[in-house]
């Protein structure tokens, strides 16, 4: 082409986080978010680091933020959804719409909540002797790259009253367990401590497994918690990219692989974060002597759908995206048994689970 002007493609989200002045971690996973060094973050008034992990697929972004002892972050609002899980510390969060009442609630380690879309919010650390740290996953990449205008994202005055209208009890612990698409779903706006949440049994996805979705603040994004018994593992499954999996408690490892590719292994413990890439098979194995709990923060909620619909609780032979134990690669079980033997532990998976059945 003659005299053509060269124009480079712009990833607005990554350019924006690159201008934020804090570290950006680009890797397959993070071994422990509690130990990630953070740097002063002028925009928020705290310290922070971005996680731009390989499996995020330009769908979700994540960051770690720390609030100094006795300090508060700057108030902010933005036109993207955000899920916040408290990693350590105690504090308060104030939430309000422009011209509306300010509602304040207390949070602690393990708390899960989401400031309603485009509402003002401010987090404060009530401890005077130690910092408070939290982990957040957002839909910022989608909105940033769609509008490619930060002023529109952070200074938009539209109020989503259908999501939040300043209700006095909005951030109480009240909620309701319902069933959506055959999955247990907790509808509420604040979980005081996800680690003590009573998780329903859901063996459709694995031996002795527990599971619940969390639908918060009328979001399109969602969270779900999984509980596992030692000596068991989840059925291999696949779904959209951008699911940030935070290990709340426990010890184990995960395998993830594409349809025609080698398996990658990630060893994890409390504080690890894993993000399986879009459409990659993955499964999680529980080592140690105590149960393990994982919290996934992502798009593709059960109530409001977004993007391709993956059926990760349905057998792949029936058109879904989950592999039954009887149909998996035998190497998966062999490797797990070997790891358990090294630790003097036993497999809690009965041989009957691996017998093929007629559909």
Please write down the long-range contacts of 328-335, taking CB distance under 8 Å and 24 or more positions apart: 328/235, 328/236, 332/233, 332/236, 332/255, 332/283, 335/255
pLDDT tens digit sequence for 174-198: 999 998 878 899 999 999 999 999 9
- DSSP string of 72-123, one letter each residue: BPPPB--SS-EEEEEEE--EEEEEE-TTS--EEEEE-TT-EE-PPTT-EEEE
Q: 6: which DSSP letter? A: P
pLDDT tens digit sequence for 250-271: 999 999 999 989 999 999 999 9
φ, ψ for residue 35, nearest 5 deg: -110, 5
Structural domains of the chain, ranges and CATH numbers in brackets:
12-154 (2.60.120.10), 177-348 (2.60.120.10)
Percent of the chain with pLDDT over 90: 86
Q: Residue 153, Cα to own-chain centre: how many angstroms?
A: 22
pLDDT of residue 33: 97
pLDDT tens digit sequence for 109-121: 999 999 999 999 9
Binned at pLDDT 50, 70 and 90, residue 359 comes out as very low
Average pLDDT over residues 13-32: 97
Q: Quote the pTM value.
A: 0.94
Is the pLDDT assigned to residue 325 strictly greater than 50?
A: yes
* Structure tokens given for 166: 């300043």
Q: How many CB atoms lie within 10 A of CB 18?
A: 13
Give the whole-angstrom CA distance, residue 93 versus residue 86: 11
pLDDT of residue 301: 78
């Amino acid at each position: 082409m003659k005299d053509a002007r060269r124009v480079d493609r712009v990833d607005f989200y990554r350019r924006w986080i690159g201008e934020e002045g804090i570290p950006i971690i680009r890797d397959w996973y993070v071994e422990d978010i509690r130990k990630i060094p953070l740097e002063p973050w002028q925009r928020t008034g705290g310290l922070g680091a971005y996680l731009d992990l390989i499996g995020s697929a330009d769908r979700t972004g994540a960051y770690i933020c720390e609030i100094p002892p006795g300090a508060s972050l700057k108030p902010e609002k933005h036109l993207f959804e955000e899920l916040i899980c408290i990693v350590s510390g105690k504090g308060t969060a104030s939430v309000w719409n422009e011209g509306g009442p300010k509602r304040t609630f207390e949070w602690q380690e393990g708390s899960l909540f989401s400031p309603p879309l485009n509402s003002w919010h401010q987090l404060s650390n009530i401890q005077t002797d130690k910092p408070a740290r939290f982990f957040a996953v957002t839909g910022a990449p989608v909105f940033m790259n769609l509008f490619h205008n930060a002023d529109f994202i952070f200074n938009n005055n539209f109020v989503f009253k259908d999501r939040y209208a300043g209700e006095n009890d909005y951030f109480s612990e009240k909620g309701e367990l319902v069933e959506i698409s055959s999955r247990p779903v907790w509808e509420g706006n604040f979980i005081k401590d996800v680690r003590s949440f009573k998780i329903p049994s859901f063996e459709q996805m694995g031996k002795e497994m527990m599971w619940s979705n969390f639908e918060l603040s009328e979001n399109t994004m969602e969270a779900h918690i999984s509980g596992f018994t030692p000596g068991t593992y989840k059925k291999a499954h696949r779904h959209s990219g951008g699911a940030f999996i935070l290990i709340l408690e426990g010890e184990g490892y995960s395998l993830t692989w594409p349809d025609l590719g080698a398996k990658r292994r990630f060893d994890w413990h409390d504080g690890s974060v894993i993000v399986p890439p879009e459409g990659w098979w993955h499964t999680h194995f529980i080592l140690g002597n105590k149960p393990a709990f994982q919290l996934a923060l992502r798009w593709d909620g059960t109530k409001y759908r977004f993007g391709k619909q993956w059926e990760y609780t349905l057998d792949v032979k029936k058109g879904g995206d989950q592999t039954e134990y009887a149909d998996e690669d035998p190497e998966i079980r062999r490797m797990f048994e070997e790891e358990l033997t090294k630790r003097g532990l036993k497999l809690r998976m009965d041989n009957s689970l691996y017998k093929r059945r007629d559909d």
